[in-house]
Amino acid sequence: MILACHNIEKSFGDRVIVHEGSFHIEEREKAALVGVNGAGKSTILKMIMDEEPLDGGDIILAKGKTIGYLAQHQNLLPDGTIYEEVRSAKADIIEMEQRIRSIELELDSLSGKELESRLDTYNRLQSEFESRNGYACESEIVGVLKGLGFTEGDFSKKTDTLSGGQKTRVALGKLLLTDPDVLLLDEPTNHLDLNSIAWLEAYLINYPGAVFIVSHDRYFLNRVVTKVVEIENGEIRMYMGNYKAYSVKKQQLRDARLKEYFNQQREIKHQQAVIDKLKSFNREKSIRRAESREKMLEKIRPVEKPAEVNTEMHFTLEPSCVSGNDVLTVEHLSKQFDGQMLFHDVSFEIKRGEHVAVIGDNGTGKTTLLKILNQVQAADTGSFTLGAKVQIGYYDQEHHVLHDDKTIFEEISDEYPTLTNTQIRNTLAAFQFTGDEVFQEIRSLSGGEKGRVSLAKLMLSEANFLILDEPTNHLDIASKEILEEALNNYSGTVLYVSHDRYFINSTATRILELVNRTFVNYIGNYDYYIEKKDELTQAYAPAAGTTGKSSDDTPGSSRLNWREQKEQQAKERKRKNDLKKAEEEISRLEDRNSQIDHEMTLEEVYSNSVKCQELAEEHAANEKRLEELYEMWEMLAE
């Protein structure tokens, strides 16, 4: 055991964060801390780091062990570059190498005991330098930076010019390179693109120390952790397994507790009815029996009813009218930003009812595409057309659709003036804003609270084409699941940008990946994308210096546009479906012919010439069809 919390207590005024909470982390164990927004996850990490005082209990770190912490907000050293900031994590090794080089310069001028002493120091330092993998120090720094999505051109950027997300990535890289025995990570996948998240997953899975993670990324938790620590209503519970195993076990325990509660309530009700009946007889014996039962009833320890599930948001999406079949047509669209080509000569279509996820590395132009479609920015070349009766509902991750100087109530009432005060309050209550909370100014809200206001506006819009930019950012897991359910039940069309792989897997029917300045089309969810990524990227968006299927297959080529990709993928699905049907029919006909062969041996059949003739004709027809099916199967299998 490397880290343990025993009976920890923490409250802020009347609000209990944790009461008599206990859990432990073993060496090399990868564990998650989960709970709804505001449950106290970040507070627990701060208590472990002694940044927040305990009200009671103990936190114990094994003797001689080190701990490293990635918070959600970073304070980096001013005036340094990205590379210098991350390199400072290896300051002791770099200093050691400088001492080794300094001694090497001294050795020629020394002799006798002085030389012997310096050689001893030199050999000791050299041995420690090698054991700490000093020769690979620089390549390790570069590997971590590139893994987290920085290019070599970014290394010289000043840290005080970086965005909040970039600073978080720098801090994460620096922390990983310090190699602490315990890593505490608060939302480490925020601001990472899909490739960087996949790199971080592999890094943490193979990390030699223990890792304790706060994250709302369910796909990430399923891949990395083997234990889940849950904080709920001030109580802490531990579950073995990844997030999926935790989710299943939690539901099973809740169902069992609910069953136990209802059984007890039924028994209490029954016993009370018996007591009332015995008392109504008004006889000495019956009254004594009633009193005896009352004493037994008083000794029953009541089972607490489990809290309701998913009471955070009540969210439904319903378009006011049905759009035409052609919802969006994009033709030859191109966009540069600061001299960098984001995408070039791209064309694609979106049909009614499709749920299309746009994915790609940070900085490739995904959000820019959505802003062009919402006429927030203009394209350099090309055009797009919306279909008949298309009404757009836009969710902006930066919440520019909200007005900082308005209250939450005004934000809704000004946008939808026909709603009554009661209707507005009911809508906001469904998104967790009640009482005087509806009069908070937008500027005072957290990212998660602004997200809920934006979702409330989106629900009221009754749009039939939703364009969403990172809709799951700042949402806790329960709220994400509610949004997923709402989108899956939505009859309109959806186009969204997201880095949440679990969300994409649950809601997308199609994926557009922005890679090498063009789009590659995948007819399926995230699992299908992973299966086909290498093959289709090489075919339709080869990197500079590589070739695809032919010399004409360049980004933006009219020969290999998204329609052809879609047709080819549809043909492949049809081939597999036809192959399966052929196999099933072959099996059925072979079984039937075997059955006919057996029936022909029965006396009641072979003695009946009419029946024999019928079976013989059926057998012959089956054989003829089987020949056709064998030929078809061979062709499909090829």
Read off the pLDDT of residues 533-553 as tens digits, 9 standing for 90 and up: 888 888 887 876 555 544 344
The answer as to whether 464 is a domain residue is yes
Quick one: average pLDDT of 75-103?
88
What are 565's two structure tokens? 């990709």
Same domain membership, residue 505 and residue 429: yes
Quick one: average pLDDT of 304-326?
78
The pLDDT value given to residue 53: 95
Overall domain count for the chain:
4
Beta strands in 127-284 (DSSP E): 182-186, 210-214, 227-232, 235-240
Same domain membership, residue 160 and residue 70: yes
What is the Cα–Cα distance from 428 to 457, expressed in whole angstroms? 10
**Contact predicate 180/62, CB 8 Å:** no
Q: Of the candidates 524, 543, 568, which is a domain's last residue?
A: 568
Domain encompassing residue 349: 326-568
Indicate the DSSP class of residue 302: P
The answer as to whether 84 is a domain residue is yes
The answer as to whether 56 is a domain residue is yes
The pLDDT value given to residue 451: 84
Same domain membership, residue 603 and residue 547: no
Same domain membership, residue 66 and residue 176: yes
Same domain membership, residue 394 and residue 437: yes
pLDDT tens per residue, range 156-196: 999 888 877 788 889 999 999 998 999 999 989 888 888 88
Which range in 18-27, 294-303, 549-558 is most confidently predicted, on average pLDDT?
18-27
Q: How many CA atoms lie within 13 A of 311 on its CB side?
A: 4
Quick one: average pLDDT of 124-147?
90
Of the pLDDT bands very low, low, confident and very high (cuts 50, 70, 90), residue 562 is low
What are 563's two structure tokens? 């329609």
DSSP, collapsed to helix, strand or coil, labels residue 39 as coil
The answer as to whether 480 is a domain residue is yes
**Residue 63: pLDDT above 90?**
yes
pLDDT tens per residue, range 356-373: 999 998 888 999 999 999
**Residue 569: pLDDT above 90?**
no
- Percent share of the chain, pLDDT over 90: 47
The pLDDT value given to residue 132: 87
Of the pLDDT bands very low, low, confident and very high (cuts 50, 70, 90), residue 114 is confident
The pLDDT value given to residue 557: 42
The answer as to whether 316 is a domain residue is no
- 156-185 b/e with 16+ CB inside 10 Å = b? eeebeebeeebbbbbbbbbbbbebbbbbbb
pLDDT tens per residue, range 212-256: 999 989 999 999 999 999 999 899 999 999 999 999 999 898 889
The answer as to whether 95 is a domain residue is yes
What is the Cα–Cα distance from 606 to 624, expressed in whole angstroms? 23
Quick one: average pLDDT of 136-148?
91
Same domain membership, residue 473 and residue 457: yes
Q: Of the candidates 214, 245, 276, which is a domain's last residue?
A: 245
List the beta bridge partners of residue 337.
Answer: 340
Quick one: average pLDDT of 48-75?
90
Average pLDDT for the chain: 87
The answer as to whether 23 is a domain residue is no
Tokens 């099916």, residue located: 629
Same domain membership, residue 264 and residue 221: no
> Which of 312-321, 511-520, 564-573 comes out lowest in average pLDDT?
564-573
Amino acid at 475: L
What are 111's two structure tokens? 């002799």
The answer as to whether 466 is a domain residue is yes
**Residue 439: pLDDT above 60?**
yes
Same domain membership, residue 611 and residue 477: no
Same domain membership, residue 86 and residue 197: yes
Residues in the chain: 638
Tokens 């994400």, residue located: 480
The pLDDT value given to residue 339: 81
- 477-506 b/e with 16+ CB inside 10 Å = b? bbbbbbbbebbeebebbbbbbbbbbbbbbb
C-alpha 5, offset from chain centre: 28
pLDDT tens per residue, range 481-533: 888 999 999 999 999 999 999 999 999 999 999 988 899 999 999 999 998 88
CATH number, domain at 541?
A: 3.40.50.300
pTM (whole model) above 0.95: no
DSSP, collapsed to helix, strand or coil, labels residue 329 as strand
Same domain membership, residue 574 and residue 563: no
List the beta bridge partners of residue 520.
Answer: 513
Which conformational region is residue 310 in: left (phi greater than 0), alpha (psi within -120 to 50 degrees), or beta?
left
Same domain membership, residue 363 and residue 412: yes
Q: Of the candidates 212, 245, 278, which is a domain's last residue?
A: 245
pLDDT tens per residue, range 248-262: 999 898 889 889 999
Of the pLDDT bands very low, low, confident and very high (cuts 50, 70, 90), residue 24 is very high
What is the Cα–Cα distance from 448 to 557, expressed in whole angstroms? 41
> Which of 257-261, 307-311, 325-329, 371-375 comes out lowest in average pLDDT?
307-311
Task: Output the CA–CA distances (angstroms, integers) from residue 497 to 177, 468, 525, in the order listed.
Answer: 31, 6, 14
Sheet with 56-61, strands from edge to edge, namely 15-25, 3-12, 56-61
- Determine how many CB atoms are found less than 10 A away from the CB of residue 607: 9
Same domain membership, residue 440 and residue 356: yes
**Residue 445: pLDDT above 70?**
yes
